[in-house]
Amino acid sequence: MLKKLFQSFRSPLRRFPHPRRTPEILSSRQHSLHRDDLSRHAVSVVERLQQAGYEAYVVGGCVRDLLLDLDPKDYDVATSATPEQVRAEFRNARVIGRRFKLVHVHFGREIIEVATFRANHPEEDDDDASPMASRNESGRILRDNIYGTLEDDAQRRDFTINALYYDPSSERILDHTHGVKDIRNKLIRLIGDPEQRYQEDPVRMLRAIRFAAKLDFEIEQHSAEPIADLAELLNDVPAARLFDEIIKLFLSGKAERTFELLLEYELFAPLFPASAEALEDNPEYAGTLIRNALANTDERIAQGKPVTPAFLFAALLWPALPARIAEAQARGLPPIPAAQEAAHDIIWEQCQRTAIPKRFTMPMREIWDMQERLPRRQGRRADQLLENPRFRAGYDFLLLRESAGEETDGLGEWWTEYQEVNDSERRNMIRGLSKEDGSGAPRKRRRNNRRKRGPNESTPSSAD
């Protein structure tokens, strides 16, 4: 009795049953998708499972992307077979995951991900169900291995555009949630009650942003409405998972649009608290620098050039650095130690929100450190900096700072010219620095080689 009484007060987390409906079935004449457009390995997995007596479909983002004439990044299969049954059908398969058990079927470098039809979580926390499904106090799903029917699986997916099931054998699309209509209307619509679905998994808010940016869609009004109020739920998401989501957000080729949507829906601050504060204090400089960095990232991806998360995070966090350096200097630290301490603190704090791996935090520090070293060009220093493996990233970052309006006394232009001229002209450029006040590194004081004199020794006169 007490258990039922307590459960009655948990209305935000109680699940209302979805209305049962017959799916809309689109024949091959009603859509543009053909089985030859799919990965042959995905088709073979589906057909093999069907031949073994199971239901199986190609599902999710690959169906959506093919309908939009985009190249799918990967292929997913949904089936009535349990993970163990799928594993028994394929010698090249491996069961993975604990929170959400899946099967990976390997075909060389290509992996076909196979998931069993999932059902909604039980309305009550039955003891028998707890090993298969569980939530935390805020409603976030911790384990999700409740199996169900095809219709159950469609209703528990996140967005309507991701709940389309394609049968390569009959070339039909099964649409339980009007996903095809939303694709035609360019809408991101959450399945079910938006507030409850975001509570189940706050990362769905970031996924809504990512799909809207990637596909140039709008977030449907009811799906968008709760996002700003629930943004703080991202604080409960594991930092490692948030790092993975940020990589997807900003390295999909639509980083600049993604940034604008994160600001619009108040999701940027939970991800980058220090940068959000800097953006509020100095919106013109911080906003221009971040937007220029993201635009450059999008351009490089479009050109097929490599992009490193280290440079991306260095740019996203840089606007927070000057204020921290000023605070450290106000406590009496010299400029270089103040910069090092500020960099360490900002990166450490960011890692509490998004677990940036060390293979990226170290290059970040080196890119920032290069900003202190680039002005020091006297003697052999300029040539030594050119040979530094981080020079190019540091130089690009310098140009990024200048593009945001930061004054560097023409440092970027100097380094651009220095890379283009021959050795003789480089020597002239170095000599020219010594004639300019405040340019290059400060000269070292000349050592006085005179022997120290005792208190009774006199100083020789200039006439001697």
Instruction: Name beta bridge partners: 219.
Output: 188
CA distances in angstroms from 396 to 33, 130, 297, 305, 412, listed in the order given: 43, 52, 12, 15, 9
Active site residue 126: no
Backbone angles phi and psi of 392, in degrees to 5: -60, -45
- Closest-CA residue to 176 (of 152, 209, 195, 193): 152
Query: Can you read off the two tokens belonging to residue 413?
Result: 């232009």
Query: Per-residue DSSP letters for 113-161?
Result: EEEEPB-PPPSS--TTTTTTEEE-TT--EEEE--B--HHHHHHHSSBGG
Eight-state DSSP code of residue 82: -
Contact 294, 256 (CB under 8 A): yes
Rounded to an integer, what distance in angstroms lies between the CA atom of residue 354 and that of residue 357? 9
Instruction: Write the DSSP symbol of residue 166.
Output: E
Which of 25, 331, 45 is closest to 150 using CA atoms? Answer: 25
Q: Rounded distance, CA 104 to CA 90, Å?
A: 10
Any long-range contacts for 193-196 (C-beta under 8 Å, 24+ apart)?
193/16, 194/222, 194/223, 194/225, 194/226, 195/12, 195/226, 195/230, 196/12, 196/13, 196/15, 196/139
Active-site position among 76, 167, 175, 182: 76
Coil/strand/helix, residue 265: coil
Return d(Cα 112, Cα 42) in angstroms, integer. 6
Concerning whether 158 is annotated as a catalytic residue, the answer is: yes
Q: What are the residues whose beta carbons fall under 8 Å from the beta carbon of 308, sequence distance 6 or more?
A: 360, 363, 393
The two beta strands, 56-59 and 75-79, are antiparallel
Query: Would you call 459 exposed, middle or buried from its count of C-beta atoms within 10 A (0-12, 13-18, 19+)?
Result: exposed
Q: Is residue 201 flagged as an active site residue?
A: no
Phi, psi of 440 (to 5 degrees): 70, -170
- φ, ψ (nearest 5 deg) of residue 63: -65, -45
CA dist 230 → 266, 329, 368 (Å):
10, 38, 34
Which one of 144, 158, 167, 298 is the catalytic residue?
158
- Scan for tokens 């689109």, then name that residue: 26
Instruction: Point out the residues that are catalytic.
Output: 74, 76, 158
